[in-house]
């Protein structure tokens, strides 16, 4: 029976073996008693000069057989814990883990050095605020023009959806326009690219402006019909006004993107920084995992040693118990022999120490 408690305290006992020893020793003691009685009838051993061990061979054999049986049963368990032989294996495993830790640590050190040398030229903590400003500015005109999209969609919800799509498109344009302009290798090329984009965007915004003018014209007609007066006549609204307004908001968003969002080199710096940081974090996790593995090996070895020590202690206890039972059987032989002798003599060989049994664990340390 093996018992392991929650705090990993280990104790060992083989109840089946204990039962076998108790049964075998009881039989051996009974046979020793009979041997003593039969020997007494023949007045053996002689009062003087006989060798005691020659009379108790069967008892010695029975208890040596018990020791061999116990050793076989216990050794089958103890072989799972090689004891001191495991020490070298564990040390080799720990050395291999330490070598891997040192290699990873060295590589991580190089990457940490690279991190200290890498300077981020863009203040990345600003990026989210710049993006929020671009999104907010780009969405102003799209939200204001939402109702005008009802001219070509069925209801207000659809017009709001179109407005959101226009908003997303304006944010995207504000984001990619600086990259498009930077594609020019010279100032002239950049100016030409900028002008071409301006023409295209002006056309798009002019068309959107016409939608708004048309929408406001319908509102104006409704107001005039209701007697409120002509709004268009008062304000003098035209598509160009909306085009200029949209270009203004887009220009502000584009300038924010151009001057305050990271350029390609700065993004590459951040990518390199993120990659180095991720590599260092990954290596630190590997090192921690290896350290835990090393600790686990040490813990398992120590627990294995504890289990082995418990089994050896049980083996020593079992052999001591068998020795006690052996001595008891010898005493039973002597007692029965003296009681049944007709000469009432006490043989001098009874003063001799009984022969030693074949023990297996006398010289094994815990």
pLDDT tens per residue, range 287-307: 999 999 999 988 888 888 888
Position 278 scores a pLDDT of: 95
Determine which of 38-47, 68-77, 282-291, 357-366 has the lowest per-residue pLDDT on average.
357-366
| Closest C-alpha among 310, 327, 312, 308 to residue 361 | 312
Helix, coil or strand: residue 11: strand
Q: State how far the Cα of 237 lies from the Cα of 233, in Å rounded to an integer.
A: 8
CA distances from 93 to 107, 288, 301 (A): 21, 16, 11
Q: What is the DSSP string of 174-224?
A: HHHHHHHHHT-SSHHHHHHHHHHHHHHHHHHHHHHHHHHHHHHHHHHHHHH
In Å, how far are 7, 180, 221, 311, 321 from 316, measured between CA atoms? 25, 87, 112, 9, 8
Question: Hey, what are 281's tokens?
Answer: 């974090």
Answer whether 59's CB lies under 8 Å from 28's CB: yes
Look up the pTM and report it.
0.60
CA proximity to 58, closest of 34, 37, 23, 28: 28
Helix (H) / strand (E) containing 12:
strand 10-12
CB-CB contact of 326 with 92 (8 Å): no
Give φ, ψ of 34 to 5 degrees.
-65, -40
pLDDT at residue 230 tops 60: no
Query: CA angle at residue 318 from 313 to 324, to 5 degrees?
Result: 130
Quickly state the pLDDT bin for 222 (edges 50, 70, 90). low
Q: Which residues have a Cβ under 8 Å from the Cβ of 1 and sit 6 or more positions away? A: 12, 13, 14, 15
The predicted-structure confidence for 297-354, as pLDDT tens digits, reads as follows 888 888 888 888 888 899 999 999 999 999 999 999 999 999 999 998 999 999 988 8
Q: Which residue has the higher pLDDT, 31 or 216?
A: 31
Mean local confidence (pLDDT), 152-176: 74
Q: What is the pLDDT of residues 49-58, one digit of tens each?
A: 888 888 899 9
Cα separation, 219 vs 225, whole angstroms: 10
């Amino acid at each position: 029976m093996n018992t392991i408690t929650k705090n990993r305290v280990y104790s060992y006992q083989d109840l089946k073996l204990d039962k076998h020893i108790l049964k075998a020793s009881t039989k051996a003691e009974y046979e020793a008693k009979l041997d003593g009685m039969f020997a007494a009838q023949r007045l053996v051993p002689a009062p003087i000069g006989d060798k005691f061990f020659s009379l108790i061979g069967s008892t010695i054999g029975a208890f040596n057989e018990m020791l061999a049986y116990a050793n076989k049963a216990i050794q089958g368990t103890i072989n799972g814990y090689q004891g001191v032989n495991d020490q070298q294996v564990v040390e080799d495993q720990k050395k291999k883990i330490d070598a891997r830790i040192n290699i990873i640590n060295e590589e991580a050190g190089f990457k940490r050095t690279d991190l200290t040398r890498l300077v981020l030229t863009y203040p990345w903590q600003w990026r989210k605020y710049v993006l929020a400003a671009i999104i907010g500015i780009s969405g102003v005109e799209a939200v204001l023009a939402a109702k005008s999209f009802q001219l070509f969609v069925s209801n207000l919800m659809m017009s709001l959806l179109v407005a959101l799509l226009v908003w997303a498109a304006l944010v995207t344009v504000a984001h990619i326009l600086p990259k498009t302009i930077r594609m020019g290798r010279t100032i002239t090329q950049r100016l030409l690219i900028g002008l071409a984009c301006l023409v295209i965007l002006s056309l798009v915004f002019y068309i959107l402006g016409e939608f708004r003018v048309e929408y406001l014209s319908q509102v104006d007609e409704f107001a005039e019909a209701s007697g409120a007066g002509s709004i268009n006549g008062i304000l003098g609204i035209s598509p160009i006004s909306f085009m200029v307004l949209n270009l203004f908001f887009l220009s502000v968003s584009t300038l924010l993107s151009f001057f305050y969002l990271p350029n390609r080199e700065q993004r590459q710096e951040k990518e390199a920084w993120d990659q180095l940081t991720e590599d260092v974090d990954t290596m630190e996790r590997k090192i921690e995992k290896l350290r835990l593995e090393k600790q686990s090996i040490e813990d398992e070895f120590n627990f294995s040693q504890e289990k082995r020590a418990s089994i050896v202690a049980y083996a020593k206890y079992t052999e001591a118990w068998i020795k006690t039972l052996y001595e008891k059987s010898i005493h039973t032989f002597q007692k029965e022999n003296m009681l049944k002798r007709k000469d009432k003599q006490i043989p001098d060989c009874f003063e001799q120490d009984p022969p030693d049994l074949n023990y297996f664990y006398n010289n094994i340390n815990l």
